[in-house]
Amino acid sequence: MDFVWKYISLLGKDLAFFVLGFLVFYIGKKLKDWTEPRKLDEELVKSDNSALALSLSGYYIGVIILFITIVSHPGEKGDLLGDLFQVSSFSILGVVLLLLSQKINDGLILGGIDAIEEIYDKRNLAVASVLFGGTIASSFFIAAALNGDIGEKVFPQGLGIAVSPLVEKTIIGSIISVIFFSVGQIGMILFSVYYKLWVPYKLKNELEEKQNLAAGTAFAGALLAIGILLTRALFREFESLYQTGILLLLDLGLAFIIIPILHFFADWVVLPGSTLKEEIERDQNFGAGLLEAVVLVSFSAIIFFAV
């Protein structure tokens, strides 16, 4: 029966992190409310804006991904207060980075499309689906950057500032996380430019003019796939910033090769007798876009865990 008492003894710690999760989610919601041009509650409840709901869902899922990843490696074992401090600090930093990534995605990944107008005025589900996938993809490598304890290897002598070891450790982790976030975000931007070059239709026209949900879903799947692949280097055993940087570049190069191959694999195997260009561009077949997204995400996950 010792395992029962051990289970009961851990309930207090579990409850503390559960409550902290609610708090982080609430803070994330409030920060999102403050950064949006209109009142979210009115748009969702009174205006029934499904495009905004889809985009917002990606953000909320991203916040939870951040928290789950961070809480899985809180810090020093047995120090509940220290763990709560580090988890809350990294979680809030992660939420801020996620909001920043959304602004970057809106401006650079969408490529000249006014996301605010498309979501709030046109209620464009195609653009919303891209924001949904892009935000979750960003949360993958933000969470990976915030997960782990590599500060001692990067700054073996510390920062030399007059703060407690716990606070210094948190500051070091935050600095490293911002560096990795920046690299991952640049990788996503480069990939989005590359994706538009080889995809067999004009993506901007499909998203903005035709509001093609099939094209938006397929692009969202590609962004999720690149997000998964970019986290591989950050979850490996850390040796140095130089090594991790090289691994990130290699994984980005791998993604540039693998994702187009998976696209054509979906075209050949999943949709025999037709093409993704026909189904997505001409027929606006949401099922085809969804199937492509599923193939890209599934095989990227296989590479992440198995290769």
Q: Please check the confidence at residue 3 and state whether its pLDDT lies above 60.
A: no
Report pTM: 0.88
**CA angle (77 as vertex; 75, 83 as ends), nearest 5:** 45
Highest mean pLDDT, choosing among 7-21, 76-90, 115-129: 115-129
Q: Which domain holds residue 245?
A: 1-306
Query: Which of 23-27, 49-53, 63-67, 239-243 is the least confident region?
Result: 239-243
Q: Which residues of 180-203 are buried (b: 16+ CB within 10 A; e: fewer)?
A: bbebbbebbbebbebbeeebebeb
Helices 50-71/80-104 angle, 10° precision: 150
Please give the pLDDT value at position 282.
85
Please give the pLDDT value at position 288.
87
Number of domains in the chain: 1
Please give the pLDDT value at position 5.
57
Q: Please check the confidence at residue 294 and state whether its pLDDT lies above 60.
A: yes
Please give the pLDDT value at position 69.
86
* Distances from the Cα of 255 to the Cα of 194, 229, 232, 239, 301, angstroms: 11, 7, 11, 23, 12
Q: Please check the confidence at residue 219 and state whether its pLDDT lies above 80.
A: yes
pLDDT tens, position by position, 146-167: 765 665 666 666 666 767 777 7
Mean pLDDT across the chain: 84
pLDDT tens, position by position, 12-27: 677 888 889 999 999 9
Please give the pLDDT value at position 109.
87
**Neighbouring C-beta atoms of residue 154, cutoff 10 Å:** 15
Q: Are 184 and 98 in contact (CB under 8 A)?
A: no
Residue 58 amino acid letter: G
